[in-house]
Amino acid sequence: MPLPFKIEQTGPTTLTMTRGLSAPPAKVWRAHTEPELVMKWMGMGPYPIVKADIDLKVGGGFRYEWQTPEGGIMAVNGEYLDLSAPHRIVHTEIFDEDWTDGKTTVTSSFEAVEAGTRVTLEMKYRSEEGLQMALQSGASEGVQATYDQLADLLVAA
């Protein structure tokens, strides 16, 4: 693995996650923006992804849904604020059951490096409380698990 998963608090309301992937930025971009590819890596263990709708344009949006172990649906949606293929996506996101004190702004950067791509996710929460709520929810473990699956998908593709 070119760069292991890392998460750190980089400001009072900001978390930054990094992960290396053995694929060029264009492939990583596609895996984040094409519903059929998102469906292959974004689910995890007891939370399989069951829906990935993407309207890939500034002002467009997305909605992802996961089946919960209890049989319900956990869902997130957001709006695209900036798209610079294949290097940068900026979007808002909020889960239907909000556990992060409002909308979060996420900047995903895909930087070409010798080993493939360095993915950097910068998550800006509305408040310090929202950031702490996200950390306590297990979100970082979920992101790590799904990015491990993405790494496997990119190697197999």
User: DSSP E strands: which ranges in the chain?
Assistant: 6-11, 14-21, 49-54, 61-67, 73-84, 88-95, 104-113, 116-124
Per-residue pLDDT of 99-111, as tens digits, reads 899 999 999 999 9
Is residue 3 over pLDDT 90?
A: no
Report residue 118 as tokens. Answer: 């360095």
Handedness of CA 146, 136, 9, 78 (dihedral sign): positive
pLDDT, position 45: 86
Handedness of CA 127, 78, 5, 117 (dihedral sign): negative
pLDDT, position 138: 80
Please tell me the distance from the alpha carbon of residue 115 to that of residue 44, in angstroms, as a whole number. Answer: 26
Per-residue pLDDT of 45-90, as tens digits, reads 899 999 999 999 999 999 999 999 999 999 999 999 999 999 999 9
DSSP designation for 45: T
Q: What is the pTM of this model?
A: 0.94
Average pLDDT over residues 34-41: 97
pLDDT mean across residues, the chain: 94
8 Å CB contact between 33 and 42: no
pLDDT, position 2: 60
pLDDT, position 50: 98
Is residue 94 over pLDDT 50?
A: yes
Q: Within 13 Å and on the Cβ side, how many CA atoms surround 56?
A: 14
Average pLDDT over residues 146-153: 93
User: Count of H helices and E strands in the chain?
Assistant: 4, 8
Q: In order of start, what are the domains of the chain with their CATH numbers?
A: 6-132 (3.30.530.20)
**Predicted confidence band of residue 1 (pLDDT cuts 50, 70, 90):** very low
pLDDT, position 140: 81
